[in-house]
Amino acid sequence: MTEKVQAGVAMLKVIESWGVNHIYGYPGGSINSTMNALQQEQENLQYIQVRHEQVAALSAAADAKLTGKVGVCFGSAGPGAVNLLNGLYDAREDNAPVLALVGQVPHNRMNYDYFQEFNEAPMFDDVAIFNRTAMTAESLPYLVDKAIRWAYKENGVAVVVIPNDFGYVEIPDIPYTSERTRNQALPKPLPDSELVQEALDMIKDAKYPVIHLGQGARGADKEYEELSKKLQIPIIITGLAKGVVPDSFEGNMGPINRAASKVANELIKKADLVISIGANFPFAESVYANRPFKYIQVDNDQSKFGRHHHLDLGIWSDAKEFAKKAIEISEDVEPNAYYKAAVAAQKDWGAYLQKLMDRTDEPLEYEQVYKEINRIADDDAVFSMDVGDNTINSFRFLDMNPKQKLLTSALFATMGCGIPGAMAAKLSYPDRQAFNIAGDGAFSMVMQDMITEKRYNLPIINIVTSNRHLSFIKSEQDDVPQPEFGVDLTDADYAKIAEGMGVKGIRVDKFSELHAAFEEAEKEYKAGRPVLIDANITSKRGIPVEFDLGKDDGSIYEDDQFKAEYDAGELKPFDEYLAEYSAE
Ligand SMILES: Cc1ncc(C[n+]2csc(CCOP(=O)(O)OP(=O)(O)O)c2C)c(N)n1
Ligand SMILES: [Mg+2]
């Protein structure tokens, strides 16, 4: 006779079979059969009790972004389900495979306007690529297996709604997983040599070519460094490609747009050819859609061709394979003025940032905080970066290499992703150092979950950059004719709040206290405990380098008032470098 197993347990066994070892969520009456199953499976699947369902979904999304493996979260019917949505949208926007289990009232209570009963399907329809309600207990494990397959296939969110009573029902204990057929990697598209040759011909004809590298090039750092040098083409990157080629590589000009380096923005304005490699970013319409450069796009997904700019050549290829082929069939380009000028300009930009980081006087500023982060960061650290000015500052000041990893809510850009990302990093990679870097606004959206760091002994280094403002939005208000309004924050002592949750909190008000604070924080996390540094910085704005300042011709770097405001006397327009090296 076939053995029996509870449907909820069978469902969890399917999830485990896909290599998942932890699951984030929050209990509720309508998900209690899953809680019952989690209790039985606790040796095989760790339940992480968060304090807000959005943290569960954001953490699951972060797991997936970090490891490529499906992340799993759950919430109860009605309010729990609604709270999940924020993190699920983050997963959708950043193409992260996530499974969300959602509670529902017992099936025989459905459609009677029962307590917390909602028609949940329409709510998840937009965010999910797979969205089903279990109709029988027997189908529950089967349905979850199918949902995981869809999450992987579409790199998106799969939702399974579970009428609570089904989870308790005894069903046949037979294999429900299809996981053993999973490890069949998709073939990588190889580039057509003729198309690569066509691209090389276009590069030869271009005066100011630029490679725009996205995270599709992860793992191809050596190849792109080589290609950049060989063809004398500077690289600009999308935000998520930070660390794909090391920041120390001379040809890496950093990201474009607002959270950018000066030189990357200048180069995109100058470019007559852009070669985009596995790159996605949300600002194409304003940053480069209407610029008159020629455009080559390399992507492993042909449906993405042409989405950012009119396409002159599309090459369906894996990013690394494209670089290898281009290196193989191209000839070396002689060192030229354009590449030299870009390298020199970027060096000066780097020196400018370093000068700001090296300041030793008061008051405490964010650059000094980043210098300390760089000082204590391991060479395979994970930086979970929340949304706000830290987006700009992390791109500029973190000194990253390809072994390290930056996590954020990139396209959805939700505040509150910092703690969930750092928790996911620590749970997925217990041996790697994890930072949460968040502004005071973003931190206070999810700070209750410091207690989750404490509960599970996740030694995370939490850094709060307290500037008592929503500075990122304040700057936006400053850039248009409107007064600042609603962007100041009432100050709080986040170190004390941490202490109240049993986490060591270190408040830093002065630069002179900063070094010691980081030393103390290091001791704490090395002892296996989370720690928080509340860095009380000023509300100073970093130098704006984005396009829409009305000075598209580079003359902003000749404006003494602008340069004085940002302590940037040494910065000069890119054309000056070009003139210098062309005259050599
Ligand atoms: C959930 C959510 N609400 C609002 C926003 C809009 N927003 C983007 S950045 C930002 C300010 C962030 O403030 P803070 O965390 O203090 O960082 P700061 O910019 O001051 O360094 C806001 C309100 C958002 N991205 N996400
Ligand atoms: Mg702030």
Q: What is the DSSP string of 38-49?
A: HHHTTTTSEEEE
DSSP 3-state assignment of 580? helix
Structure tokens at 322: 């494209």
Q: Is residue 133 part of a domain?
A: yes
- Among residues 441, 425, 439, 442, the alpha carbon closest in space to that of 525 is found at 425
The alpha carbon of 502 is separated from its chain's Cα centroid by a whole number of angstroms, namely: 28
Same domain (yes/no): 313, 370: no
Same domain (yes/no): 283, 396: no
Evaluate whether 377 touches 463 at the Cβ level (below 8 Å).
no
Q: Inter-axis angle of helices 221-231 and 319-329, to 10 degrees? A: 40
Range of the domain at 221: 193-345
Q: Determine whether the shortest distance from the Cβ of 542 to ligand 1 is under 6 A.
A: no
Structure tokens at 75: 């919430």
Report the alpha-carbon distance of residue 375 to residue 379 in Å, rounded: 10
- Which DSSP letter does residue 78 get? T
Domains identified in the chain, total number: 3
Count of beta carbons in the 10 Å neighbourhood of residue 69:
15
Structure tokens at 260: 């950018």
Report the alpha-carbon distance of residue 353 to residue 362 in Å, rounded: 17
Long-range contacts of 558-564 (CB under 8 A, 24+ apart): none
Which CATH number do you get for residue 388?
Answer: 3.40.50.970
Q: Is residue 542 part of a domain?
A: no
Same domain (yes/no): 200, 176: no
Mutate to test the pocket of ligand 1, among 392, 415, 537, 541 (most ligand atoms within 8 A of CB): 415
Which pLDDT tens digits describe the chain residue by residue (584 residues)?
789 999 999 999 999 999 999 999 999 999 999 999 999 999 999 999 999 999 999 999 999 999 999 999 999 999 999 999 999 999 999 999 999 999 999 999 999 999 999 999 999 999 999 999 999 999 999 999 999 999 999 999 999 999 999 999 999 999 999 887 765 778 899 999 999 999 999 999 999 999 999 999 999 999 999 999 999 999 999 988 999 999 999 999 999 888 889 999 999 999 999 999 999 888 777 777 778 899 999 999 999 999 999 999 999 999 999 999 999 999 999 999 999 999 999 999 999 999 999 999 999 999 999 999 999 999 999 999 999 999 999 999 999 999 999 999 999 999 999 999 999 999 999 999 999 999 999 999 999 999 999 999 999 999 999 999 999 999 999 999 999 999 999 999 999 999 999 999 999 999 999 999 999 999 999 999 999 999 999 999 999 998 655 666 778 898 999 999 999 999 999 999 999 998 77
How far, in Å, is the centroid of ligand 1 from the Cα of 121?
A: 30
Report the alpha-carbon distance of residue 30 to residue 152 in Å, rounded: 27
Report the alpha-carbon distance of residue 175 to residue 146 in Å, rounded: 14
Q: Determine whether the shortest distance from the Cβ of 573 to ligand 1 is under 6 A.
A: no
Q: Determine whether the shortest distance from the Cβ of 387 to ligand 1 is under 6 A.
A: yes
The alpha carbon of 158 is separated from its chain's Cα centroid by a whole number of angstroms, namely: 20
Final residue belonging to a domain, choices 181, 209, 237: 181
Q: Determine whether the shortest distance from the Cβ of 155 to ligand 1 is under 6 A.
A: no
Residue nearest to atom 4 of ligand 1 (CA): 415
Structure tokens at 224: 């792109």
Burial status of residue 208 (CB atoms within 10 A of its CB: 0-12, 13-18, 19 or more): buried
Ligand in nearest proximity to the CA of 467 = 2
Same domain (yes/no): 157, 225: no
Q: Is residue 166 part of a domain?
A: yes
The alpha carbon of 100 is separated from its chain's Cα centroid by a whole number of angstroms, namely: 20
Q: Is residue 545 part of a domain?
A: no
Mutate to test the pocket of ligand 1, among 419, 464, 470, 478 (most ligand atoms within 8 A of CB): 470
Same domain (yes/no): 311, 440: no
Same domain (yes/no): 398, 501: yes
- Among residues 464, 536, 555, 465, the alpha carbon closest in space to that of 503 is found at 464
Q: Determine whether the shortest distance from the Cβ of 87 to ligand 1 is under 6 A.
A: no
- Among residues 133, 141, 152, the alpha carbon closest in space to that of 175 is found at 141
- pTM, two decimals, is 0.96
Which distant-in-sequence residues (6+ apart) come within 8 Å of 245 by Cβ?
213, 217, 221, 224, 225, 228, 235, 237, 251, 252, 402
Report the alpha-carbon distance of residue 130 to residue 349 in Å, rounded: 46
Which CATH number do you get for residue 202?
Answer: 3.40.50.1220
Same domain (yes/no): 486, 509: yes
Q: Determine whether the shortest distance from the Cβ of 408 to ligand 1 is under 6 A.
A: no
Same domain (yes/no): 172, 58: yes
Report the alpha-carbon distance of residue 518 to residue 532 in Å, rounded: 10
Q: Is residue 246 part of a domain?
A: yes
Which residues are within 5 Å of ligand 2 (an ion), measured at CB? 439-441, 467, 469, 471
Same domain (yes/no): 228, 338: yes
Residue nearest to atom 25 of ligand 1 (CA): 414
Q: Is residue 548 part of a domain?
A: no
Q: Determine whether the shortest distance from the Cβ of 93 to ligand 1 is under 6 A.
A: no
Q: Which atom of ligand 1 is nearest to the CA of 366?
A: 21
Q: Is residue 187 part of a domain?
A: no
Report the alpha-carbon distance of residue 386 to residue 358 in Å, rounded: 24
Ligand in nearest proximity to the CA of 93 = 1
Residues classed as catalytic: 53, 115-116, 258, 387, 472-473, 476
Cα-based torsion angle of the residue sequence 91, 92, 97, 103 in order, rounded to the nearest 10 degrees = 80
Q: Is residue 455 part of a domain?
A: yes
Final residue belonging to a domain, choices 136, 161, 181: 181
Same domain (yes/no): 397, 300: no
Same domain (yes/no): 414, 317: no
Same domain (yes/no): 143, 229: no
